[in-house]
Structure 1
Amino acid sequence: MRSEDQTASIIILCGEKHLPYQRPQLTKGFLGSELDVPQMAIHSPRFYTERHIELLLGVRAVGVGLAAHTVRTSDAHTFHYSKLLIATGASARVPDLPNATIRGVYSLHSADDVAVIRDAAAHAEHAVVLGASFVGLEVAASLRTLRLNVTLLERGPRVLPLLGSQTLSDQFTRRCSERGIDVLLNRSICEFVGKESIEAVVTDQGELMQCDLVVVAIGVMPNCEFLRGSGLALEDGIVVDEFLRSSDPDVFTAGDVASFPDPVFGVRRRIEN
């Protein structure tokens, strides 16, 4: 944006307290204790300062006024805009089950989430990972690197169910087995067992699996609840056209929160990273 306009005021609201970072590293180098958050930063503070970009950390948008061109924030401020780009991403899905928030059961989407999991893994022996997406597989591999026993549960008949290739799914399953990861297909968790912290899970096939760490990786939900009632078109995310323009011509959307048209298959898609 700055390269397109040298004088415009640019403000970035960042809900996390860290500099914007490379999120794919969370389940790899960061969880595996090879990296810390500053090493994952996309740019240094100097990058934003030199380009006169105001970066507000720990500040979330809580409402948008389309007619007034305003954004209300979590710290009770209001900002005016000429053009608005919404890239609020997504949040991890949590199973709708009792004890789903007990200590030792975690979902992940942020550096703070993974830091908690990394600390818990240091005192754990057997982890269960729910969901064999790319994230689930990466988490399982990183936990094995940390020398935990790992069981990977997938409710479908193969890992990476959205990949569209049985051959590739089979290859990834073999790689998991070679790493010592126990892959169980056609299974999901129906109960988390434990009083103060997780002790075991029960699968929908009645199996009781002892564990002291559970990581849930069953997908994400777009972060667009703060836009309910704003007037923007919402449908599993913010509806945009081929130019990532929303139903309001001054509001654009990018990333996990965007529901965009797929010209090849003629359907709407939302990419989950």
Structure 2
Amino acid sequence: MTQTCIVIGASHAAAQLTASLRQEGWEGKIIVIGDEQQLPYNHPPLSKAYLSGDQSADELLIRKPNFYEQKEIEFRLGLRVEKIDRAAKTVALNNGETLSYDKLALCTGSRVRTVSLPGIELAGIHYLRDLKDVDGIRGEVVAGKSAVIVGGGYIGLETAASLKKLGMSVTVLEMAPRVLARVTAPELSEFYTRVHTEEGVDIKTGVAVSEFIGGDRVEKVTCADGSEYAADLVVIGVGIIPNVELAQECGLEVENGVVVDEFARTNDPDIVAAGDVTNHYNGIYKIRLRLESVPNAADQAKSAAASICGKEKLYCTLPWFWSDQYDLKLQIAGLSQGYDQVVIRGDKDSGRSFAAFYLREGKLIAADCVNRPPEFMVAKKILSEGIEVDIAKLADESIAPKAFLG
């Protein structure tokens, strides 16, 4: 009998999981169900190269269609799974179909956090999560017109940089006292505020949006402190929420994501999960966490594929991330939460290249590296292998990063 593996969500994780399934020797059917019309594509360029017109939709594809054809991976696009029946081992689709599975993979990812404010339904207000969202934004970009970005996280700042590049007048409104407050140290926030200001972006912090005003289209954004900002286009980027509802409804364990072990297995032996949607144990930091990153989705998907095939491939890798804004490439190694000291290497106050090393009790736990690939690569190695570091060396630019290793 041919076995069937159904993958829910045509995401980054799904693209890797299906390829890895064939590598691990799965000979049965593979069916991917995705609610978008596209094959799995890279999301990070959406707010950057795709929004600014430097990349086409075809260039975003993680793998070309012929790869999936050769590997006999079937895609059912534009469809949604509405229910998982674990006892019958079936999934019900929104078109009335019911499909049976032997193994099931949840790669459902996440969705944007929405806001419910007066005027939110006006034309010209967008979220930025998928290709369709960015196509909508691109259709309304007009050089010289005003764009307001709600949210000063990475998505908000990347979008601000792209819209500025396209000639728009851009204002960023952030509720916290500083941009990137949730994810980085004040030194990084100050640096990005300076660079965006130098590029002509107006950054306002400590302001809460209260209303969107306009006729048919948005015309201005009002804040709780009474300030108003002209807006021909609004992009909202205030975080994402994991898509756990299917898992929850069918009785899988859910707590800030679908709970999986270090082999991407849920509490059902025939169901795995990978990507943004999972809450998993990280052996390097010895904590459970949920990560929103492409490397996490790809690496965890390899473990999930192995588990489906009855093998064990431990998922225990260092979290890492990146962000591109203007001529800046920020590469982040590790998790900085809980740091008690920051060591700066380079000139963060006037230059565009430096590294911030995060320490806890004298031990390196993370690094933010702006246009500093050597520091990033060395930091990854140190963190992955638990290498002891002489803190005095970190800030000394006369010492090459590779000398940190010993």
Q: Shorter-chain TM-score category?
A: over 0.9
Among 92, 107, 116, the residue aligned to 2:112: 92
Q: Structure 1 stretch 9-18 or stretch 218-227: which is displaced more?
A: 218-227
- Cα deviations by residue, 1:94-123 (Å, 9 ceiling, x for unpaired): 112121121111111110011001101137
- Cα deviations by residue, 1:44-76 (Å, 9 ceiling, x for unpaired): 110001011112221222111111111112222
Q: Give the aligned residue type for 1:210.
A: A
Alignment partner of 1:171: what SS?
A: helix
Among 192, 195, 200, the residue aligned to 2:212: 192
Superposition deviation, residue 262 in structure 1:
4.0
- For structure 1, which runs of at least 5 residues remain unmatched after alignment? none
Residue matched to 2:278: 258
Q: Structure 1 stretch 157-166 or stretch 43-52: which is displaced more?
A: 157-166
Alignment partner of 1:120: what SS?
A: coil
Residue matched to 1:3: 23
Superposition deviation, residue 32 in structure 1:
0.5
CA distance in 1, matches of 2:189, 2:200: 17
Residue matched to 1:118: 138
Among 60, 65, 70, the residue aligned to 2:80: 60
CA distance in 1, matches of 2:140, 2:221: 17
Among 54, 65, 78, the residue aligned to 1:34: 54
Among 45, 64, 72, the residue aligned to 1:25: 45
Residue matched to 2:192: 172
Residue matched to 2:224: 204
CA distance in 2, matches of 1:96, 1:182: 25
Which structure 2 residues correspond to residues 119-198 of structure 1 after superposition, within 5 A?
A: 119-122=139-142, 125-198=145-218
Aligned length: 273
Residue pair 1:89, 1:257 contacting (<8 A) in 2 also:
yes
Q: Structure 1 stretch 88-97 or stretch 238-247: which is displaced more?
A: 238-247
Residue matched to 2:125: 105
Structure number with greater Rg is 2
CA distance in 1, matches of 2:213, 2:47: 25
Alignment partner of 1:137: what SS?
A: helix
Superposition deviation, residue 248 in structure 1:
1.3
TM-score normalised according to structure 1 size: 0.94
- Cα deviations by residue, 1:202-228 (Å, 9 ceiling, x for unpaired): 112110111111100000111222344
Among 221, 243, 246, the residue aligned to 1:223: 243
Alignment partner of 1:121: what SS?
A: coil
Residue pair 2:261, 2:281 contacting (<8 A) in 1 also:
yes
Q: Structure 1 stretch 99-108 or stretch 218-227: which is displaced more?
A: 218-227
Q: Give the aligned residue type for 1:140.
A: A
Point out 4+ residue stretches in structure 1 off by more than 6 angstroms: none
